Structure 1
Amino acid sequence: MPGVVQSLLWQILKLSMNHGGNIYRFARRLGCLPEQVLDFSANINPEQPVDLSCLQGVQLTPYADPDYGQLKQAINQRYPVPAGVDLELFNGASAAIFALLRGLQPKDLVLYTPLYGEYAHIAGELGCKVHNIDRFGQIMADIPQHSTVIFVNPSTPDGRLYELRDLLAKWQAADCTIIIDESFLDFSQADSVAEYTAHYAKLYLIKSLSKFYGCAGIRIGFILAVTAAIKELQRFEPAWKLSSLDMAYMRQALANTAFIERTRRQTAHLRDLLHHALQNSGLFDKIYPGQANFLLARLADGGSGYQLQEQLEPSRILIRVCDNFEGLDESHVRFAVKDELAIARLAHSFKNINK
């Protein structure tokens, strides 16, 4: 019977950790408040560029602008859009991913793994034939002609930053439709592939604004592509996808340009602190080098991330086990970059774990 109970508890753990950031289910299990959870599972900037007081003057009576004119202008100033290129806004990057794949209806979908599981899930719903390519060992492998390829840069869950010039040339030579997800690129100094969108009509760039700007509750993402492709995508989109409050907050956030460099410096510093905490714990035999706001680590001796999560529960710490990423198993765990106090609490909690 104890073995059955343990198995059931682990199944509950797995259900609660299929995606990072489900602090509500985790808190219910622990019998605490969500705000008492120290969430290392969700890769959200711990800092925000503006205070919620910026929303006090927002008028809620009129309908919001269905063309999102002011928000698009703010995005264009933050992320320069090449001539002949346009963007479409969505209620978060996940909605953008689904809308784009639904519109493209690809027959062959090439996923460079390990990869965020939402892409494979959507591909299954749409009946695509999925071709997984291990970017750790076979990144230049052959791909089907005329396929649709998806590449996340920096990657998740390991945060590696790639130079894409050779891959872009390879994909174009195969006449592929290309989707680049740059949801975590703002945490680095690297250049976007946005300039390439003006020169290749089948290149789509996806960005999430919630990660960098620390506002997962503000659901805004966008797709950048040539104007004709965006117009085709808009044919199937409803009006008023975003609320007046969402747009007002994001316009203020984008206007705080000093926040960009400050966040990059802070993330690099805190990522180093997190790396040291993981390394000094003695629990991991590999910590993947990353350039985003998270680190992937592999537990030594085939250890289980679910067992580690169970051991961290007395400290009310939630982590992300990465066994639902293609090519990884439950020995792989991901930690978001948090503030110094949170990292210190994690390091202290590691000391109470039996090695």
Structure 2
Amino acid sequence: MTIQNLIRPSIKALKPYSSARDEFKGNTDNLTFLDANENPFENGVNRYPDPQQGKLKALISQIKDVPTENILLGNGSDEVLDLLIRMFCEPNKDNIIILPPTYGMYEVLANVNAVETIKINLSEDTFQPKKETILSKSNANSKILFLCSPNNPSGNSFEVSTIAFLLKNFKGIVVIDEAYIDFSKQESWLSRLNEFPNLVVTQTLSKAFGMAGIRLGMCFASAEIIATLNKIKPPYNINELTQAKAIEGLSKMTLINSQIASLLEQRDILVKALDEVRFIEKVYPSEANFVMVKVDDANKRYQQLIENGIVIRNRTTQPLCENCLRLSVGTKEENRRLVENLKKL
């Protein structure tokens, strides 16, 4: 298996669009720019943004300890996931593999791109991948395996040995979605990018970094994969305001780490309190910023909480999640209000 053999032939042959800002890469000091048909009247956003997000990537590189050539940024992680499917999967021919219950956008994006989705449920109760089943049900057209770890909605991390086994034996790209990695005790797979050429790691600024509103996702992979993704991404996919806000937010890592520590503390407090709610039958272990619980009647309890002004996520329709609710960890006051209302129901 080589990465080049996995990439769609049309993508390999593609000549990427060259934007004005891509073509001129010299020193910009004291220059008059008349190359991009921009409005010349300065207002802070009249110029096109850096198409390669150089300053932002340099900061992310420093924080994540990953070279910039191994980083691609997207308009949310969803754009990154869509680009990966378009890069590797031939419409009406190839397939992706997902492990329900999991993040629903993997399948949606596959459907948008006319790519088949093979579903292999996680093991019941433990929510771990069935590695041998995954290999037996994959075929020559299985291009991407999506692993969400920590998993949404179950909240657990996948065993390191299982992921390593799949990276070594799956004959395609393994995408590890680490949206919740900052809340986990497990080490990020970023540290092993050089070990597995078929490894792609996605992360986000929407969870631990508290910037869901700016929509910025991160993709980490080999320079070979990143170079090809850069060929097919929209030229200015990360706008100027998003880049500026991300740089501002990432410059406050002391605050971010403090907030993560607070959420972890509140998660532990919330888990203990949920054990005292009479209709909660099980509290699942979590390494994310949410907790999944099994209740007597998910639809009923969900509606009752709505009536009391609290919105949670009803996951009862998902595989292996019958009568399960997903509760985000909030502030101390928000968690107190949640528990009080649960105990009153």
Taking only aligned residues, the RMSD between alpha carbons, in angstroms, comes to 2.1
How big is the shift at 1:324? 4.4
**Which residue number corresponds to residue 79 of structure 1?**
64
Please state how far the C-alpha of 1:178 moved relative to its aligned partner.
0.6
Q: Distance in 2 between matches of 1:215 and 1:315?
A: 28
Q: Distance between the aligned counterparts of 1:170 and 1:255, measured in 2? A: 36
With the length of structure 2 as denominator, give the TM-score of the two structures.
0.78
1:267 is displaced (CA, Å) by 1.6
Could you say if the C-alpha distance between residues 171 and 86 of structure 1 is closer, same or farther in structure 2, counting changes exceeding 3 Å?
closer
2:110 maps to which of 123, 128, 139: 123
Structure 1 distance, partners of 2:172, 2:160, is 15
Please tell me whether the aligned partners of residues 188 and 291 of structure 1 are also in contact (alpha carbons under 8 angstroms). yes
Aligned to 1:308: 301
Q: What TM-score does the superposition give when structure 1 sets the normalisation length?
A: 0.76
Asked if structure 1 preserves the Cα contact closer than 8 Å seen for 2:75 and 2:217, the reply is yes
1:68-147 equivalences in 2 (<5 Å): 68-81=53-66, 86-105=70-89, 107-137=94-124, 139-142=130-133, 143=135, 144-146=138-140, 147=142
**C-alpha contact (below 8 Å) 1:71/1:250 kept by paired residues:** yes
Q: 1:233 aligns with which of 229, 236, 242?
A: 229
Higher relative contact order (CA 8 A, sep 6+): 1
Amino acid at match of 1:90: G
What is the aligned partner in structure 1 of residue 24 from structure 2?
none
**Cα deviation 1:288-331 (Å, max 9, x = unaligned):** 0001100000113xx1x2221221123211110113433323x1
**Does structure 1 residue 352 correspond to structure 2 residue 344?**
yes
Aligned to 2:28: none
Residues 62-97 of structure 1: CA distance to partner in whole angstroms, max 9, x if unpaired? 3221110000011101111159x5111111011211
Distance 1:219 1:324 in 2: 27
Equivalent position SS for 2:195: coil
Distance 2:288 2:239 in 1: 29
CA gap of 1:62–1:265, structure 2 versus 1, over 3 A, is same
- Which is further off, 102-111 or 211-220? 102-111
Q: 1:314 to 1:185 in 2, by over 3 A?
A: same
Give the letter for the 2:47 counterpart.
P
Q: Aligned partners of 2:139, 2:175: CA distance in 1, in Å?
A: 15
Cross-structure match for 1:7: none
CA contact 1:82–1:195 (8 Å) conserved in 2: no
**Structure 1 unmatched runs, 5+:** 1-57
Other structure's SS at 2:44 match = coil
What percent of counterpart residues are identical? 25
Aligned twin of 2:29: none
CA distance in 1, matches of 2:186, 2:259: 14
Matched residue type, 1:347? V
Alignment check: 8 A CA contact 2:167 2:199 kept: no
Decide whether the 8 Å contact of 1:183 with 1:211 is kept in 2. yes
- Give the Å deviation of 1:260: 4.4
Helix, strand or coil for the counterpart of 1:317?
coil
- Larger Rg, first or second structure (1 or 2): 2
- What's the counterpart of residue 66 of structure 1? 51
Aligned partners of 1:104 and 1:325: how far apart in 2?
27
Instruction: Provide the rounded CA distance (Å) in 2 between the counterparts of 1:118 and 1:326.
Output: 15
Match of 1:322 among 301, 309, 315: 315
Match of 2:293 in 1: 297
Distance in 2 (alpha carbons) for counterparts of 1:68 and 1:189: 30
How big is each residue's C-alpha offset from its partner over 1:25-63, in whole Å with a ceiling of 9 and x where there is no partner? xxxxxxxxxxxxxxxxxxxxxxxxxxxxxxxxx932332
Q: Please state how far the C-alpha of 1:180 moved relative to its aligned partner.
A: 0.6
Q: Of 334, 337, 343, which aligns to 2:329?
A: 337
CA distance in 2, matches of 1:161, 1:259: 25
Displacement, 1:145? 4.6
Query: Whole-Å Cα distance in 1 between the matches of residues 319 and 86 of structure 2?
Result: 22
Match of 1:154 among 136, 143, 150: 150
Distance 1:201 1:294, change over 3 A: same
Q: Judge conservation of contact 1:82–1:194 (CA < 8 Å) in 2.
A: no
5+ residue gaps, structure 2 = 1-42
Partner of residue 12, structure 2: none
Where 1:306 maps in the other structure, the secondary structure is helix
Residue 274 of structure 1 and its aligned partner are, at CA, apart by 1.7
Provide the C-alpha distance between the structure 2 equivalents of 1:173 and 1:140, rounded to a whole number of angstroms: 9
More displaced stretch, 137-146 vs 274-283: 137-146
Amino acid at match of 2:288: A
Which amino acid is the alignment partner of residue 74 of structure 2?
F
Question: Could you give the per-residue CA deviations for residues 257-284 of structure 1, whole angstroms, max 9, x where no partner exists?
Answer: 2234323321221102221332222121
Equivalent residues, number: 291
The Cα of 1:159 is off from its aligned counterpart by 1.2
